[in-house]
């Protein structure tokens, strides 16, 4: 099957999820791009706008095994990674898998649990393994983490450490639904009903093939230069105290490849990078006190950077 036909299958996933989450087409498409790039997704917004429903819809549309943990202060690291217990009948310690042993792990309200439990996700998000009592266990492939986060200041929340935020390829914000979409939700045309009817439109094997083909999308040297220029601009901007990390630059490359792939192209153009810059950078930068005093948001500053950094005009391969 050609890459273009696989890209069409990616569109089928987007359309299936949009049957459940109405009016959030851009958000759904960005998450599908992160899935193709093999990255983890942080969904940040107020409670009740459909973050959890969105994650479950993606799992069902891609036929992925899915587990969900509601993160609260009493959730332990062993609930996530698993634990070993001595079994007298076997005269040995036996590993009992944790919640991450699945294809799509939903960490619901991740910033409501302790830092120790949050850090239990770091190894598995980066390496696809968990280590328990000195033994390493691999998670199923493909493996994705979708985490939902309530805005800082909500009851019982605490900031995620920068090292963990950096593990998420993108951070998307859903926002309130439009008036007509909210009416549809109230009338029962969106929400629980469509979620129950969500069907798998691709298999795990097809998803892995699509992820492999996404990695093969060509990136011109001029586009790499553009990405580095954007990253350097965040590091030098007077309103940013912590700029984009090299992992953030890599995330921009991978997301741009996924955007080109979904568009049916075998090469990345600068607009692919600009289109994902906010999603790959907003959770990785820290604004200065001056920016906060001026009520500026991360997106405001990133808009300014996109306007000032000139786009290249690379030749097609």
Domain ranges of the chain: 1-210, 217-310
Q: Is 228 exposed, middle or buried (0-12, 13-18, 19+ CB in 10 A)?
A: middle
User: With contact defined as beta carbons under 8 Å apart, do 69 and 57 qualify?
Assistant: no
User: What is the mean predicted confidence (pLDDT) over 75-97?
Assistant: 91
Query: In the chain, what percentage of residues exceed pLDDT 70?
Result: 91
pLDDT of residue 314: 59
pLDDT of residue 156: 61
Phi/psi region, residue 121 (left: phi>0; alpha: psi -120 to 50; beta: rest), is: alpha
pLDDT of residue 196: 75
Highest mean pLDDT among 5-14, 21-30, 229-238: 229-238
Residue 225, Cβ neighbours under 10 Å: how many?
12
> Which of 45-49, 122-126, 136-140, 244-248 has the lowest average pLDDT?
45-49
End-to-end CA distance of the chain: 22
Does pLDDT of 105 surpass 80? Answer: yes
**Helix-helix angle 246-262:3-18, to 10 degrees:** 100
For the stretch 30-42, pLDDT in tens is: 999 999 999 999 9
Indicate if 217-310 has the same CATH topology as 1-210: no
Does pLDDT of 153 surpass 80? Answer: no
User: With contact defined as beta carbons under 8 Å apart, do 174 and 43 qualify?
Assistant: yes
User: With contact defined as beta carbons under 8 Å apart, do 9 and 206 qualify?
Assistant: yes
For the stretch 162-194, pLDDT in tens is: 888 899 999 998 877 778 877 777 776 555 566
- Identify which of 19, 118, 91 has the alpha carbon closest to the alpha carbon of residue 61: 19
**Which CATH fold topology does 217-310 show?**
Helicase, Ruva Protein; domain 3 (1.10.8)
Calculate the average pLDDT of the chain: 88
Task: Just give the CATH number of 1-210.
Answer: 3.40.50.300
Does pLDDT of 3 surpass 70? Answer: no
DSSP state of 160: P
User: With contact defined as beta carbons under 8 Å apart, do 57 and 16 qualify?
Assistant: yes
**Helix-helix angle 270-281:298-308, to 10 degrees:** 160
User: With contact defined as beta carbons under 8 Å apart, do 83 and 53 qualify?
Assistant: no
Does pLDDT of 97 surpass 80? Answer: yes
User: What is the mean predicted confidence (pLDDT) over 118-128?
Assistant: 86
> Which of 6-20, 22-36, 180-194, 202-216 has the lowest average pLDDT?
180-194
């Amino acid at each position: 099957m050609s890459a273009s036909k696989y890209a069409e299958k990616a569109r089928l996933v987007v359309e299936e999820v949009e049957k459940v989450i109405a009016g959030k087409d851009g958000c759904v498409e960005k998450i599908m791009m992160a899935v193709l790039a093999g990255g983890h997704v942080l969904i940040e917004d107020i409670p009740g706008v459909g973050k959890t429903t969105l994650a479950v819809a993606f799992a069902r549309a891609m036929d992925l095994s899915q587990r969900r943990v509601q993160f609260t202060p009493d959730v332990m690291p062993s609930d996530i990674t698993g634990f070993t217990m001595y079994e007298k009948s076997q005269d040995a310690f036996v590993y009992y898998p944790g919640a991450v042993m699945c294809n799509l792990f939903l960490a619901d309200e991740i910033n409501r649990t302790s830092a120790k439990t949050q850090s239990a996700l770091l190894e598995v998000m980066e390496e696809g393994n968990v280590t328990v009592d000195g033994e390493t266990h691999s998670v199923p492939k493909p493996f994705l983490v979708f985490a939902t986060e309530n805005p800082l200041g909500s009851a019982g929340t605490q900031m995620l450490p920068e090292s963990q935020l950096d593990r998420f390829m993108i951070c998307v914000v859903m926002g309130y639904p439009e008036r007509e979409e909210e009416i549809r939700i109230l009338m029962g045309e969106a929400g629980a009903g469509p979620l129950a009817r969500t069907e798998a439109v691709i298999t795990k094997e097809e998803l892995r093939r699509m992820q492999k083909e996404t990695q093969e999308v060509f990136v011109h040297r001029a586009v790499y230069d553009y990405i580095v220029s954007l990253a350097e601009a965040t590091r030098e901007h007077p309103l940013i105290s912590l700029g984009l990390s090299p992992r953030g630059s890599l995330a921009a490359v991978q997301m741009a490849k996924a955007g080109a792939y979904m568009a049916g192209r075998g090469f990345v153009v600068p607009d692919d990078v600009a289109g994902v810059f906010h999603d790959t950078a907003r959770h990785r930068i820290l604004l200065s006190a001056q920016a906060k005093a001026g009520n500026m948001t991360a997106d405001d500053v990133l808009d300014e950077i996109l306007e000032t950094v000139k786009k290249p005009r690379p030749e097609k391969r």
